[in-house]
């Protein structure tokens, strides 16, 4: 590696992660790209190194495997990155009765455990210079429980609350922490799970390029939470106001009248 700032991108072998890798290389970051498919990473790394003159390392890791995750954590702690894009994720979509407990656990290991451990490792590195960007890819399904998406929507709700809580912990520091909530994006996400490209109507999708460009614009603007397809920002403010009113009420120390025994 050169002595330039390093951006680490998980799930860089396709889709959103590959576009992040491209955009960060274009901004001059050296890259550490992570996913399971070594061939894809190598091809992308070779091209980005050649086109942008940056140094690229590729680590073929199964992040759902704790033994494979540990070396990446150690690297982030010992050699602080400038940016971590916590993007690797899987859907495990389908009725839980069919997909089974092992698939749901594997999803949680990747979407929740790996993202958590890598966030904490990156933050350990960032604290050394009080600088760094942590970007966690959640989803709009954080707000959308669904039959067929039990662990997936649960995992993305975790990512959102986890990331928002870290933002509070690091408020006032030089470290930026962003949650990105994509809606449907045209990637291999659905086909890699054996699902058709018609999970959502064609018009519901945006491209990974548009998603990443908007997310990076949001980061640059200092946004904590970026929802690229939210056309009416006031909706978020309304949700926040309702959430705060709900929370203020439920810590009032009173049981609701409707639960009083008759």
Ligand X SMILES: NC(=O)c1ccc[n+]([C@@H]2O[C@H](COP(=O)([O-])OP(=O)(O)OC[C@H]3O[C@@H](n4cnc5c(N)ncnc54)[C@H](OP(=O)(O)O)[C@@H]3O)[C@@H](O)[C@H]2O)c1
Q: In what order do the strands lie in the sheet with 30-35?
A: 56-60, 30-35, 6-10, 83-86, 132-137, 175-180, 225-226
If binding is defined by CB under 6 A, does position 237 make contact with ligand X?
Answer: no
Which residue is it, tokens 């955009």? 23
If binding is defined by CB under 6 A, does position 16 make contact with ligand X?
Answer: yes
- Give the binding range for ligand X (CB under 6 A) out of 42-50, 126-134, 179-187, 231-239: 179-187
If binding is defined by CB under 6 A, does position 88 make contact with ligand X?
Answer: yes
Footprint on residues 192-211 left by ligand X (CB under 6 A): 192
- Give the binding range for ligand X (CB under 6 A) out of 10-18, 116-124, 229-237, 240-248: 10-18
Nearer to ligand X, 173 or 223 (CB): 223
Is 152 noted as a catalytic residue in this protein? yes
If binding is defined by CB under 6 A, does position 103 make contact with ligand X?
Answer: no
- Give the binding range for ligand X (CB under 6 A) out of 12-20, 77-85, 227-235, 246-254: 12-20
Q: How many residues does the chain have?
A: 262
**Residue 17: CB minimum distance to ligand X, A:** 5
If binding is defined by CB under 6 A, does position 108 make contact with ligand X?
Answer: no
- Give the binding range for ligand X (CB under 6 A) out of 81-89, 93-101, 213-221, 244-252: 81-89
If binding is defined by CB under 6 A, does position 150 make contact with ligand X?
Answer: no
If binding is defined by CB under 6 A, does position 17 make contact with ligand X?
Answer: yes
State the number of binding residues for ligand X (CB under 6 A). Answer: 29
If binding is defined by CB under 6 A, does position 179 make contact with ligand X?
Answer: no
Catalog residues that contact ligand X under the rule CB under 6 A: 11-17, 35-37, 40, 61-64, 87-90, 110, 137, 139, 182, 184-185, 187-189, 192
Active site residues: 152
């Amino acid at each position: 590696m050169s002595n330039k700032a390093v951006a680490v991108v998980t799930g860089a072998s396709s889709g959103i992660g590959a576009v992040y890798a491209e955009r960060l290389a274009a901004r001059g970051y050296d890259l550490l790209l992570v996913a399971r498919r070594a061939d894809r990473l190598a091809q992308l790394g070779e091209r980005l190194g050649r086109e942008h003159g940056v140094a690229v390392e590729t680590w073929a890791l199964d992040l759902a495997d704790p033994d494979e995750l540990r070396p990446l954590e150690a690297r982030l702690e010992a050699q602080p990155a400038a940016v971590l894009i916590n993007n690797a994720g899987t859907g495990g979509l389908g009725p839980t009765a069919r997909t089974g407990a092992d698939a749901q656990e594997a999803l949680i290991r990747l979407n929740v455990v790996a993202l958590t451990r890598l966030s904490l490792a990156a933050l350990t590195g960032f604290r050394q210079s009080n600088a760094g960007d942590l970007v966690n890819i959640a989803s709009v399904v954080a707000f959308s429980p669904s039959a067929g998406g039990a662990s997936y929507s649960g995992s993305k709700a975790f990512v959102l609350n986890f990331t928002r809580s870290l933002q509070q912990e690091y408020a006032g520091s030089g470290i930026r922490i962003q949650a990105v909530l994509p809606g449907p994006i045209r990637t291999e996400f659905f086909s890699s799970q054996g699902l058709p490209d018609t999970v959502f109507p064609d018009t519901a999708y945006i491209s990974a390029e548009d998603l990443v460009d908007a997310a990076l614009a949001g980061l640059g603007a200092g946004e904590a939470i970026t929802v690229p397809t939210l056309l009416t920002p006031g909706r978020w403010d309304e949700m926040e106001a309702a959430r705060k009113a709900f929370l203020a009420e439920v810590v009032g120390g009173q049981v609701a009248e409707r639960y009083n025994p008759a």
